[in-house]
Structure 1
Amino acid sequence: MKRGYGLVLGTIIAVLLACLAIYLYLKATPYQEQIDHGPAPEALANPYLAAEHFLRKQGLSVGHANGLDILPSLDPRQHSLLLFGDRYNMTPRQVDQIMNWTRAGGRLVFVAESLWDDRTGQSNDLLLDRVQLHQSLSKDLKDPPTAPGDDPYPKLTKLYLEDDAGPAYAGFDTAFHLEDPHNLAQAWANSAKATHMMQLNHGLGSIVVVTDADLWKNPPIDQYDNAWLLWYLTADTQVTLVFNTDHDNLVTLLLRYFPQALVALIALIGLGCWHAGVRHGPLQETPAPARRQLQEHLRASAAFMLRRNGQQSLLQALRQDILRRVRRRHQGFDQLGVAEQWLVLSRLTGQPTRAISQAMSPRPKQRLNSADFSRQVAHLQSLRNAL
């Protein structure tokens, strides 16, 4: 009977579970969700990582460097050098090396970094001044290259090629403008507002100057014809990308990673200088060694004890010394009464008991004058010497 009841209960539970599974299957709707974990560490470390991958897919050999030290090892023939990093610390010698490398057949692409100063006749960009191009703000232009009303995309830079029916569009920053006061440029690309790219011949090589390289960074490189333009400028060459020429010095690294340690070090140095520079009292000349006599030490020690402990402590020390000497000469002295002790002292020293009582009895805590204190000390010393 119990076995049949359990079988029925198990069947009911199985049916209920099957019904629940069918219900969930009918109600459940599968979907796909993409979770964006943000840029990979490689992309965060290299803002032109997507540009490198794109050029490699086009069959180009691409490498990158963090400085211009790699320049002597680069063959200028069929080689493109992209200078997309800060160059504010570039030296004239490095400028000469880059220009000689380009003259030997290299293809140079760099970003103009500074504005032309009419007052000084130069900018803070040595490389830009060497190619004799000027950069200015687009808002300062009087006559833009193209009338805004005739351009359907005034904020995009147009590059016209001979065999193409339409221009290629690039997303340069329209806030800056390149000028060619000596008519050296062989080709250029404009937006409706300004000129943002110029190409010049230099010996066996060529130089391309752009107002910015942000259009080739990871987020915007897939917009418009930005990626195609980078390939067009470096086609049929090996590519070396330099985007981090600003190396942090030791002080900058310490401030970035160990600020607490630097603060503690500065505080320690300050305290050391303060300790070495502060005088804690007037300087005194060292006394001659001949003056350091035993009598002076004893007098100084007595004066110190008198100032620190008072007269009664010195007198009490003499009394204790007298009692120690009496105990050595008379056995059982401590068991005697006070009067009997005075009699023993009188017999041993030859002094009357009255004088002994006055000398050995503690006096009220009052300061004695110098004469009374000296007499009291002399009396006690005579008793001690007699023992």
Structure 2
Amino acid sequence: MSRRRQFLLGAALCLLLGLLALYLLGRLEPYQQTIEHGPAPEARVNPYLAAEHFLRRQGLQVQRADGLQLLPELPSAGQTLLLLGDRQHMSPRQAERLLDWAAKGGHLLFVAERLWDEKAGASGDLLLDRLGIQQYQSDALDAEDSSTEDAASDPAAEPLDEANRYPQLTQLYLENEHAPAYIGFDTGFHLYDAQNRAHAWANGGEATHMLQLYHGDGLVTVLSDAWIWRNDRIARYDNAWLLWYLSQDSAVTLLYRAERDDLLSLLLRHFPQALVALALLLALALWHVGMRQGPLQLPASLARRQLREHLRGSADFLLRRDGQHSLLQGLQQDIQRRARQRHPGFERLGVAEQWQVLARLSRLPSRAISQAMRPPPQQRLTAADFTRQVAHLQLLRNTL
């Protein structure tokens, strides 16, 4: 194929590709698509991250705390402490310190955690019991008594049309305001001021979900729940406005946990896979250390030795441990014991008389008796002398 023909063929191919591209571009239509990736990792870890950003946007100074360790260094005046964490393990001393901090001019806000127990006369919530506030379930309330009590205690009872506009929401009325603020509290709980100390409250239907009372030189605000300020709910209704209203003109400290988790709890929460791997590694290490090395050793045969070998081994052991003097003295004492059995009063006789009695009982000559019963020498005997002495003693003992 000539070059001219190749050039024409390539140009035609490029022209066809260009026309195809123009056709496809004319058929394309641009569009927009939003892909939801869910909350950011910071929002998943911190359920009140949106509340922090909201307060900072209002010009308030906000800090976050994980425990009550900062309380001694936290000033009371001009400070709002939002205690939003679990207080299940709070000690009585910590509860007293919190209330003392509020009495010096601070604003303490916390969530009621336990229901009032009529039989025990307490709820077990240290802060609620000390302030005389009781929490009940809303479905256990008597509707008529609750309505009468709320109307008598609320000097600015809301108009009927406003109350019926959003019956599922909690209404908070302020002075010089014709319409209430609507907050999305959980309607399943009710707060009751048993000591009649509250000067402000927020009602939803027949239940009260917020109480505010003076405590010393400070304020204490009790909520039935703090879910209204979580990341997924703070933008609803007037939830964010209530957070600003309660913390306005003050620095804010958000306390998520009243006590710290121990090391094991933190490891189980954040590194469960690492703990499982560590447990498997430890099990493998123990298995390796405890694994048998080499072949099994067969049990020794019970009949591999004769009685004579056992007796000889026992004698060698006693000789090494107690010495010759102890063995010879033991044989002599055995001979004296047998003589006392055959001749009463043998132990009261003199040495010479004892030897005569032994000679008469054994029918051995006096020379053999004296060689056998003479006191063992202090110095070590030779093997031949020791064997000869033992032989004389055994002969005398066997004849008794």
> Which range, TM-score by smaller chain?
0.5 to 0.7
| Cα offset, 1:3, TM superposition | 3.0
**Aligned residue in 1 for 2:138:** 138
Structure 1 SS opposite 2:86: coil
**Aligned residue in 1 for 2:108:** 108
CA 294–229 in structure 1, closer or farther in 2 if over 3 Å, else same: closer
**Aligned residue in 2 for 1:20:** 20
TM-superposition CA deviations, 1:138-176 (whole Å, max 9, x none): 001112448999512111111111132211111110000
**Aligned residue in 1 for 2:312:** 293
| Cα offset, 1:294, TM superposition | 5.1
CA distance in 2, matches of 1:262, 1:2: 77
Q: Is residue 182 of structure 2 the alignment partner of residue 163 of structure 1?
A: no
| Cα offset, 1:253, TM superposition | 4.7
The AA in structure 1 aligned to 2:124 is: N
Whether the aligned pair in 1 keeps the contact of 2:104 and 2:216 (CA below 8 Å) is yes
CA distance in 2, matches of 1:8, 1:163: 89
**Aligned residue in 2 for 1:235:** 248
Moved more, 36-45 or 165-174: 36-45
**Aligned residue in 1 for 2:71:** 71
TM-score (norm 2): 0.64
**Aligned residue in 2 for 1:29:** 29
Q: Is residue 109 of structure 2 the alignment partner of residue 96 of structure 1?
A: no
| Cα offset, 1:262, TM superposition | 6.3
How many residues matched? 279
| Cα offset, 1:89, TM superposition | 1.0
Whether the aligned pair in 1 keeps the contact of 2:90 and 2:259 (CA below 8 Å) is no
| Cα offset, 1:130, TM superposition | 1.1
List, as ranges, runs of 4+ consecutive aligned residues in structure 1 with deviation greater than 6 Å. 146-149, 262-265
Q: Is residue 189 of structure 2 the alignment partner of residue 189 of structure 1?
A: no
TM-superposition CA deviations, 1:331-360 (whole Å, max 9, x none): xxxxxxxxxxxxxxxxxxxxxxxxxxxxxx
| Cα offset, 1:261, TM superposition | 5.6
CA 295–152 in structure 1, closer or farther in 2 if over 3 Å, else same: closer
CA distance in 2, matches of 1:295, 1:187: 97
| Cα offset, 1:203, TM superposition | 1.6
CA 259–120 in structure 1, closer or farther in 2 if over 3 Å, else same: farther
CA 71–10 in structure 1, closer or farther in 2 if over 3 Å, else same: same
2:166 to 137, 153, 174: 153
Whether the aligned pair in 2 keeps the contact of 1:154 and 1:193 (CA below 8 Å) is no
Unaligned runs of 5+ in 1: 273-290, 298-387
| Cα offset, 1:221, TM superposition | 0.7
CA 240–292 in structure 1, closer or farther in 2 if over 3 Å, else same: farther
Unaligned runs of 5+ in 2: 152-159, 291-309, 317-400
Structure 2 SS opposite 1:179: strand
Q: Is residue 81 of structure 2 the alignment partner of residue 81 of structure 1?
A: yes
CA 2–251 in structure 1, closer or farther in 2 if over 3 Å, else same: closer
Whether the aligned pair in 2 keeps the contact of 1:255 and 1:262 (CA below 8 Å) is no
Matches within 5 A, 1:249-328: 249-253=262-266, 257=272, 258=275, 293=312
**Aligned residue in 2 for 1:217:** 230
* Percentage of matched positions with identical amino acids: 50
| Cα offset, 1:118, TM superposition | 1.0
**Aligned residue in 1 for 2:299:** none
**Aligned residue in 1 for 2:366:** none
Structure 2 SS opposite 1:221: coil
TM-superposition CA deviations, 1:280-311 (whole Å, max 9, x none): xxxxxxxxxxx8635989xxxxxxxxxxxxxx
The AA in structure 2 aligned to 1:204 is: D
| Cα offset, 1:29, TM superposition | 1.2
Whether the aligned pair in 2 keeps the contact of 1:174 and 1:193 (CA below 8 Å) is no
| Cα offset, 1:243, TM superposition | 1.1
CA 100–296 in structure 1, closer or farther in 2 if over 3 Å, else same: closer
Q: Is residue 198 of structure 2 the alignment partner of residue 179 of structure 1?
A: no
**Aligned residue in 1 for 2:155:** none
Moved more, 185-194 or 240-249: 240-249
CA distance in 1, matches of 2:25, 2:264: 64
Matches within 5 A, 1:356-367: none
| Cα offset, 1:244, TM superposition | 2.1
Structure 2 SS opposite 1:84: strand
**Aligned residue in 2 for 1:349:** none
Whether the aligned pair in 1 keeps the contact of 2:168 and 2:205 (CA below 8 Å) is yes
RMSD: 3.1
**Aligned residue in 2 for 1:38:** 38
Structure 1 SS opposite 2:261: coil
Whether the aligned pair in 2 keeps the contact of 1:254 and 1:262 (CA below 8 Å) is no
CA distance in 1, matches of 2:96, 2:19: 83
| Cα offset, 1:84, TM superposition | 0.5
CA distance in 1, matches of 2:31, 2:54: 32
Whether the aligned pair in 1 keeps the contact of 2:169 and 2:185 (CA below 8 Å) is yes
The AA in structure 2 aligned to 1:293 is: R
**Aligned residue in 1 for 2:55:** 55
The AA in structure 1 aligned to 2:197 is: L
CA distance in 2, matches of 1:217, 1:255: 25
CA distance in 1, matches of 2:248, 2:182: 18
Whether the aligned pair in 2 keeps the contact of 1:178 and 1:195 (CA below 8 Å) is yes
CA 243–12 in structure 1, closer or farther in 2 if over 3 Å, else same: same
| Cα offset, 1:212, TM superposition | 0.3
TM-superposition CA deviations, 1:177-219 (whole Å, max 9, x none): 0001221100000111411001001122111100000110111
**Aligned residue in 2 for 1:321:** none
Moved more, 10-19 or 65-74: 10-19
